[in-house]
Amino acid sequence: MKEYKDITELLGICYPIVQGGMAWVSDFHLAAAVSAGGGLGLIAAASAPADWVRGQIHALRKITDKPFGVNIMLMSPFADEIMQVVVSEKVPIVATGAGNPSKYMDMLKEAGTIVIPVVASSTLAKRVERAGADAVVAEGSEAGGHIGETTTMNLVPQVVDAVSIPVIAAGGIADGRGAAAAFLLGAKGVQVGTRFIVAKEANVAQPYKDRVIAAGDNDTVVTGRFTGHPVRSLKNKLMREILSQEKKDMSLEEFETLMIGTLRKAVVEGDADYGSLMSGQSAGLVTKEQPAAEIIRDIAEGMKAVYRSKAAYFGD
Ligand code: TUI
């Protein structure tokens, strides 16, 4: 079943495709479906308490015995406790986001965990490599949710040059063309988020899925730059309101009051107007709801088709 070397061997998966850890979206249903489909499924711990994460790990293990991971958002007040949970539950793979995971590296490595920090700069990539990371996800600013400044096209080759561990590209990748491009930039795998929001197994309210499917290339916006934690989402009434308040110098407190609970509102309640529809720019490439395994096959097959046609074009 194995089709690619490197990252697939490291992670014990069939396709070099990782599902992004998306707050509220990536619960055990989606992660299990992705892992069962030959990719790497991740449960997003986001800002949830440690006990919730433990429950998710148990639920996933009832459905599949394939490798999976937990994505730990380091700004979470529960990050320390969740690290204890993943170690005690012997979760094989841990991804981190929104911070530097170096202080947790020794405990994770001692437990035999494979650690894959998500980074948005080559500086952090080098730091986490030095601390013992097994691979990094280089996430460009086309991604949804909390983002850095540098685009995938520029970030990936610079991170590839900066470190010796395998680099997984993320941000703007939703099909075989994007995946093939990432491999040409030196990536050994891809992480895909936005396209999995519309996976059949993703417990996401239909209005959110519908907005992702309807979105075009110009339909995302970045809010919260002034907070130091910019976030990309689909344009809607909430984001227009926030953008207009940002122009009028809103305070951090006002921003937080407007934002609190809005991701849950989108994912769980299906409020597409006043919920946070976090999404990458690749929403414009997402055209239908599909089972996760079909999404993975489509990306893998699409990537092969690109390589075949380019080989023909270049004559070798
Ligand atoms: O983490 C993500 N994506 C996320 S986290 C999230 S929850 C959240 N919501 C509102 C505000 C903030 C978080 C939604 N989406 N992707 C990985 C990622 N990590 N993107 C950017 C970074 C990052 C940024 C700065 C990682 C490290 C960093 O600096 C850390 C340091 O100490 O150098």
Measured by CA distance, the residue closest to atom 23 of ligand 1 is 98
Ligand 1 atom nearest 47 alpha carbon: 7
DSSP 47: T
Total count of residues recorded for the chain: 316
So what's the pLDDT on residue 2? 43
CA separation for the pair 298, 13 (Å, rounded): 16
Distance 293 CA to ligand 1 centre (A): 27
Measured by CA distance, the residue closest to atom 9 of ligand 1 is 146
Measured by CA distance, the residue closest to atom 24 of ligand 1 is 98
Closest by Cα among 185, 132, 180, 184 to 155: 185
CA separation for the pair 286, 216 (Å, rounded): 9
Distance 314 CA to ligand 1 centre (A): 39
So what's the pLDDT on residue 6? 85
Ligand 1 atom nearest 145 alpha carbon: 15
Per-residue pLDDT of the chain (316 residues; tens, 9 = 90+): 444 448 999 999 999 999 999 999 999 999 999 999 999 999 999 999 999 999 999 999 999 999 999 999 999 999 999 999 999 999 999 999 999 999 999 999 999 999 999 999 999 999 999 999 999 999 999 999 999 999 999 999 999 999 999 999 999 999 999 999 999 999 999 999 999 999 999 999 999 999 999 999 999 999 999 999 999 999 999 999 999 999 998 999 999 999 999 999 999 999 999 999 999 999 999 999 999 999 999 999 999 999 888 776 666 5
Distance 266 CA to ligand 1 centre (A): 20
Domain boundaries, the chain: 10-203+285-313, 206-282
* Residue at token pair 């937080």: 256
Ligand 1 pocket, Cβ-based, cut-off 6 angstroms:
23, 73, 75, 97-100, 118-120, 124, 139, 145-148, 229, 231
So what's the pLDDT on residue 15? 97
**Element holding 237 (H helix, E strand):** helix 237-247
Distance 132 CA to ligand 1 centre (A): 20
Question: 10-203+285-313 in CATH: which number?
Answer: 3.20.20.70
Tell me the CA distances in angstroms from 149 to 95, 119, 142, 146, 154, one per residue in order: 20, 11, 9, 10, 10
For ligand 1, mutation pick of 105, 136, 146 (most atoms within 8 Å of CB): 146
Distance 147 CA to ligand 1 centre (A): 6
Q: Can you read off the two tokens belonging to residue 19?
A: 């599902």
0.85 cut: is pTM over it?
yes
